[in-house]
Amino acid sequence: MAGAGLLEIKRRIKSITNTQKITRAMGLVATAKFRKLRERAGEIDIYYDEYKRAIEEMLKVNEVEDSVYFQQNSSDIDLYIVVTSDTGLCGSYNANVLNNVLEDMYQKKVAVITVGERGRAFFKKRNYETIAEFVEIGDKPAFKDASEIIKPAIDAFVAGNVRNVYLAYTKFITSVKQTVEIEKLLPFEKNRDLKSSNMEFDPSVTEVMNYAIPKYLYATMYHALVNSIASEYAIRMSAMDNATKNTEKLLEKLKIAYNRARQSNITQEITEIVSGAEALKE
Amino acid sequence: MAAFNFKLITPEKVFFEGEVNSVSMNSITGRVQILANHVGYATGVLPCIIKIVVNNETKKAVVSGGFFQISDNKGVLFADSAEWPEEVDIERAKRAMERAKNRLESKDKNLDVERAKLALLRAMTRLKITEIK
C-alpha cells in the first residue's frame, strides 16, 4: 500500500498552508503600515531638504571652518551608525544594509552604533566595538529618538575619539525602489567651489553653526530612520507577497501529487480486488 | 508694506507658510525683528513666542527653539516644535515646568544645566502664550 506517501504529502500541504497564513497576514499588516509610513517619509523630506539647503548656503561662508564640527582630529577610528530592523521576514532589507556597510568598512578601524535588533546581533557576533545599541524603536520613531541615537556619535566626534561619522540607512525612493545610502555626517567640509556669500551671523558664524549643526544632524538621523522604516515595510510587503505566491505554486504542485498518489492507490486496490475475484471464479 | 516669504517648518509638518510683513523672535543674543529685504542673516532661536505680522494682523505662536535663516527675501525657521496658542496643553506645560524646576534645584552633579534651563524656558513660554491670548 502507498498510504505512507499519501500521509506525508498531506502533512506537507498542512504545514505549507500554515506558512501561507503567516506570510499573507504579515503582508497585510505591512501594507497597512506602509501607507502611513510613506506619508511620514514625505513630511520629513520637506524639513530635511530645506534644512540641507540652508546649511549648504552657510557652507559658502569662509569662517565656518572655525566651528568644532569642521575640525579634523587625529583619531584613526571611523564610526558607523547602522539602521536595521528589529524583526526578520523582510526579505533582503537587512542583508543589503549590512553587506554595503561591511564593504565600506573594509580595512578601516571602526566602531558602530546599531539601530535595530538585527544589526545589533550581527555586529555582536563578529565582535565589533559598539558605542551604543538601540532596539525596538518601533515603526513610529519620535524626533527625540533620533536625537538620542545620534548624540553619542556627536559626543565621540567632538571629544576626538573618532575621526569620521558615517550613517548607513535605506533610502525610500518608491515602493519598488529603495537604495542603501552611506552618508558622511562629520566632519563637515566647506564648499570651496561656490562663491562666498555675505551672510550676517548673529552673534558669530561659529556660534550659529554650533547651534544649527546638531539640530541638522538630528534631522538627518530622523530622516534616515523614517526612510529606513518605510523601506523596511515596502520590502517586507513585496517579500511577503512573493512568499505567498510561492506557497500557492507549491500547494498546487503538492495537490496534484497528492491526487495522483490517491488515484494510483485506488487503481491498485481495484486491481487487487478484481484479480482476487477472477481467481475465485476459476 | 513690503513683504517676504516666510516658512516655519517642524519635523512633523510645515507649520506656517506665506507672505509676511515682519517676523519677531528671540535669537541667542536677544529679540530680533525681521523685515522684508533683509540682508542674508542666520541665527539660533531660543524657545520663545514668535510674532508674525501679515497685513497689520498679528499672529502669535510658541516655538521651542530652532534655527533661522533668511536669504534672497526668503526666510525659514526650523523649529523643533511649534504650536498656536489654542494648541498648547496647559497641564502638560505646568508639569514640565515643575519637573525642570525640581531638576534645577536638585543640585545633582550630573545635571545638564543648559538642558534643564531650556526645558524650563520652553514650559514658561508655553504658559505665557496662553495667558496673553
Highest averaged pLDDT of the listed ranges A42-51, A75-84, B89-98: A75-84
Q: Which residue among B11, B29, B40 places its CB closest to the CB of A143?
A: B11
From A101-110, A117-126, A168-177, B119-128, the region with the lowest mean pLDDT: B119-128
* pLDDT tens per residue across span B32-74: 999 988 888 889 999 999 999 998 889 999 998 889 999 888 9
**Residue B86 pLDDT grade (very low, low, confident, very high; cuts 50, 70, 90):** confident
What ipTM did this prediction achieve?
0.81
What pLDDT, on the 0 to 100 scale, is given for residue A168? 94
pLDDT of residue A101: 92
B42 with A58: Cβ contact below 8 A:
yes
- Residue A139 burial (C-beta neighbours within 10 Å; 0-12, 13-18, 19+): middle
Band of the pLDDT at A194, cuts 50, 70, 90? low
pLDDT digits (tens, 9 = 90+) for A92-142: 899 999 999 999 998 889 999 999 999 999 999 999 988 999 998 888 888
Closest-CA residue of B relative to A45 is B11
Nearest by CB to A219, which of B11, B44, B71?
B11
Q: CATH number for B88-131: choose from 1.20.5.440, 1.10.1060.10, 3.40.50.300, 1.10.3210.10.
A: 1.20.5.440
**β-bridge mates for residue A183, sequence order:** A167
Decide if A155 touches B, using CB distance below 8 A: no
Query: CA-CA distance, A234 to A172, in Å (whole number)?
Result: 9
Q: How far is A30 from chain B (nearest CA, A)?
A: 22
Closest alpha carbon to B71 in A8, A55, A86: A55
**Cβ-based contacts of A46 with chain B (< 8 Å):** 9, 14
pTM: 0.84
Asked if A57 lies within 8 A of B71 by C-beta distance, the reply is yes
- Quickly state the pLDDT bin for B5 (edges 50, 70, 90): very high
CB A117 within 8 A of CB A87: yes
- Segment 34-53 of chain A within 8 Å of chain B by CB: 43-44, 46-47, 50-51
- CB-CB under 8 Å, B12 with A203: no
In chain A, which residue's Cα lies nearest the Cα of B71? Answer: A199
Locate CATH 1.20.5.440 in chain B.
Answer: 88-131
pLDDT score of A1: 46
User: Is there a contact between B43 and A222 if contact means CB atoms under 8 Å apart?
Assistant: no
CA distance A92 to A97: 9
Res. B22: pLDDT tops 70? yes
> Is A27-237 assigned to CATH 3.40.50.360?
no
Residue range(s) of every CATH 2.60.15.10 domain in chain B: 4-84
Beta carbons of A203 and B14 less than 8 Å apart = no
- The fourth-level CATH superfamily of domain B4-84 is F0F1 ATP synthase delta/epsilon subunit, N-terminal (2.60.15.10)
Residue A259 has pLDDT above 60, yes or no: yes
pLDDT of residue A195: 66
How confident is the model over A41-67, as a mean pLDDT?
Answer: 83
Residue B17's pLDDT is what? 92
Cβ contacts below 8 Å, chain A against chain B, sum to 77
Q: Say what the pLDDT of residue A202 is.
A: 79
pLDDT of residue A196: 64
What residues of chain B have any CB closer than 8 angstroms to a CB in chain A? 7, 9-14, 27-29, 32, 39-44, 66-67, 69, 71, 76, 78, 80
Strand partners, B20: B4
- Cα–Cα–Cα angle for B32, B33, B35, rounded to 5 degrees: 145
pLDDT per position as a tens digit, A68-98: 888 888 888 999 999 999 988 888 899 999 9
CB-CB neighbors (< 8 A) of A222 in chain B: 11
Residue A4 confidence (pLDDT) above 50: yes
Tell me the mean pLDDT in the region A30-38. 87
Identify which of A111, A209, A98, A242 has the alpha carbon closest to the alpha carbon of residue A165: A111
Q: Is the pLDDT of residue A143 over 90?
A: no
Q: How far apart are CA A251 and CA A245, in angstroms?
A: 10
